[in-house]
Structure 1
């Protein structure tokens, strides 16, 4: 018998709210299979089983908020007999499995809902349920979160997804956002984290203008030989340049914890992604320095799509060692962000535009981008920060080197 606990889905996460169980008591679960949906205030995520087993007891009800590390379920190994459950558990287990064993579903017990979202949100049917059996419809995490923000009752909403699943598009079509004088939970969480970062982290800021002439020419030449779906975008080059620069400046890659710097175990670049429902997330591309440009480009495209579709994995939230933010698509020239604690640096990029630049003694009009660095003065100083930015700049002048696989 082993416990499944509320996982840490981010370095600053202290508690999580169980949105829904994706399994029932008695289900056989494979390692890596999604077992529950959890709201971290920043995003709704699925958590996965870290080991195969059989669900013996669900300890937390949907809507409950518990601290990280709190047991939320009991599993047993496939070959572990049910009789080996602790003495106080068979009654609870029998109650939990009654809906599967009984001919008719039991009457629901009255509960006090903690949020409108938890009250309206249906649980997911498992494959063990027959098609015609009464049950609640499947709802994607993104759809559930948007419904809560807009005050939409999901119980009467017909889903257009597989098996009647309610999708984000279904919720978007169900009504306009309700007027509210209070910020969303995500906005409150972002406000709390950024306020703490501004208060506790002694930031310093540096910026430089980088010519992308060589990178632009190289990209055009390379993409001419690739199918449309595989063509590399400029943000991929920027991420790879930052990742390789971190190999030379490891003090920018890690965390400030327990009054000291701890270097990251790898170069896991967090990419800031704005969400359609408001707010942002910054999941990680793992070992970005070791990926080919093609794989990095695929990883970036996939990460953005899953961020906005509510399909991120636990590990992608838990361990970014640095964050990159890019507001170039919004026409912003310069960006100086707030470091996401406990990280110690944030790299930012603005709009890529043709600007006047003196090169080889001549004034020329070249495609350029402004790069910014926000860094923690407890770990590095301005000189090292400037050298780090200059390393990024030099790597972007030789884009063919970015294509090499270590």
Structure 2
């Protein structure tokens, strides 16, 4: 696990094995991408350095050599002031605090992910009062540092990216009716939200408009073959993160909804995976549940677009030549003029709206 300004990010390893050698000292700062350790795969023997090859010398017949003297027995380890402490999973901050106060981490019950020991766990062992419940956001997050990181990224975005903005109102009454019928057959913890339909509609529209799906790097646009929609998630206390829901276009709606729930829970607990933070190809943000009718996002570089959804509002709407009350949502797009233009953006938004008229096909 690596602590960053976005929290404690889980670094996945995709092959079982055993750490053979650490390449970086504890607490040292290294550039992003620096290898941290060597991992030996299961069933693979440890590497043994082979002697350097030498040319076979032409020599006379070897003379018998005396046997080497026996190796002395290893000297006993010098006594230490306290017994060696057993290793225990802990965050770097918790480990530092424990070292400062000479606390054995193996004697502390961890409350973090997978039983890991958090900074607050060590504080409790020291007798430091824990913060009140309403102030707890998860001990893995430094919200002040997160706000600074967000501000730096957004300042860079507005400085470097020529934004253009579009807004489009769509009738989501068909979505609401379809969801009501669908959710009537599902238990409460498996019911779908309209946000899942919005994510799926954006992902499917990106198939037709790939110019909004990818990254602008090295003065050119790099389209992405995969569609990984970043979901903007508010963190209690003022933080924000937008981890990716991988292969959003290929997920059935029930799996997509489960994935959204999982992302929200882990993000607010500060347990985001590195791949989820590094590879969103577009971001979707929604403030409808906060009562906002429209939002205009700022593109997160190196992405080239962000789509926003507002609150569903009852408005008079013409359907089949007749005026009636309908649920209408304002959808917005912030696009990067280096990759697309307003014409393409308008078609993209219209495609999303069209897909939301047929929720049964999502």
Interval of TM-score (by shorter of Structure 1 and Structure 2): 0.7 to 0.9
Q: Deviations over 1:380-405 (max 9, x none)?
A: 11011001001111111111111xxx
Correspondence for 1:312: 272
Q: 1:139 to 1:237 in 2, by over 3 A?
A: same
Give the corresponding residue for 1:29.
none
1:329 maps to which residue? 289
Task: Tell me whether 1:140 sits opposite 2:119 in the alignment.
Answer: no
Using the TM superposition, give the Cα deviation of residue 118 of structure 1 relative to its aligned residue in structure 2, in angstroms.
6.9
Cα separation, partners in 2 of 1:213 and 1:176, compared to 1, 3 Å: closer
Task: Measure, in 1, the Cα distance between the counterparts of 2:343 and 2:117.
Answer: 44
Q: Residues 338 and 143 of structure 1: is their aligned pair in 2 closer, same or farther, counting only changes over 3 Å?
A: farther
**Contact map agreement 2:211 2:339 (CA 8 A) in 1:** yes
Give the aligned partner of residue 361 of structure 2. 401
Q: Within the alignment, does 1:157 sit opposite 2:124 as a pair? A: yes
In 1: Cα distance, 2:131 partner to 2:115 partner: 6
Match of 2:329 in 1: 369
Q: Is the 1:141–1:310 contact (alpha carbons within 8 Å) kept by the matching residues of 2?
A: no
Separation (CA, whole Å) in 2 of partners of 1:138 and 1:265: 41
Distance 1:184 1:63, change over 3 A: farther
SS of 1:65's partner is coil
- Local SS of the residue matching 1:247: helix
Pairwise CA distance, 1:72 = 1.9
User: How large is the Cα RMSD of the aligned pairs?
Assistant: 3.5
Query: TM-score w.r.t. structure 1 length?
Result: 0.70
Q: Do the aligned partners of residues 185 and 63 (structure 1) sit closer, same or farther apart at CA in structure 2, a change above 3 Å counting?
A: farther
Shift, 1:121, TM fit: 6.8
Uncovered stretches (5+) of structure 1, i.e. residues with no partner: 1-36, 86-97, 107-114, 123-131, 148-152, 160-169
1:112-123 correspondence runs (5 A): 119-120=96-97
**How do 1:14-163 and structure 2 match up within 5 A?**
37-78=1-42, 79-81=44-46, 84=49, 104-105=83-84, 119-120=96-97, 134=106, 138=110, 140=112, 154-157=121-124
Distance 1:134-1:41 versus aligned 2 partners, 3 A rule: closer
Query: Cα distance, 1:139 vs. partner?
Result: 5.3
Deviates more, 1:359-368 or 1:292-301: 359-368
Per-residue deviation, residues 3-23 of structure 1 (Å, max 9, x unmatched) = xxxxxxxxxxxxxxxxxxxxx
In 2, the alpha carbon distance for the partners of 1:174 and 1:372 equals 34
* Higher mean C-alpha displacement, 291-300 vs 73-82: 73-82
Q: How many residue pairs end up in the alignment?
A: 317
Is the 1:142–1:309 contact (alpha carbons within 8 Å) kept by the matching residues of 2? no
Between Structure 1 and Structure 2, whose CA radius of gyration is higher? Answer: 2
State the alpha-carbon separation in 1 of the partners of residues 117 and 110 from structure 2: 13
Which residue in 2 is equivalent to 1:241? 201
Equivalence for 1:11: none
- Separation (CA, whole Å) in 1 of partners of 2:276 and 2:191: 24
SS in 1 for 2:30: strand
CA displacement 1:13-67 (0-9 Å, x = unmatched): xxxxxxxxxxxxxxxxxxxxxxxx2123122112123433322333434543321
What is the deviation of 1:229?
Answer: 2.0
> Is the Cα contact below 8 Å between 2:143 and 2:239 reproduced in 1?
no
CA shift, 1:286, in A, is: 1.2
Question: Counterpart of 2:308 in 1: which secondary structure?
Answer: strand
SS across alignment from 1:380: coil
- The residue aligned with 1:378 is 338
The CA deviation at 1:256 is 0.7
Give the TM-score, by structure 2 length: 0.77
Q: 2:254 aligns with which of 270, 294, 302?
A: 294
Which of 226, 229, 232 pairs up with 2:186? 226
1:130-160 Cα deviation digits (max 9, x unpaired): xx9955553527999996xxxxx6523159x
Range that drifts further, 326-335 or 135-144: 135-144
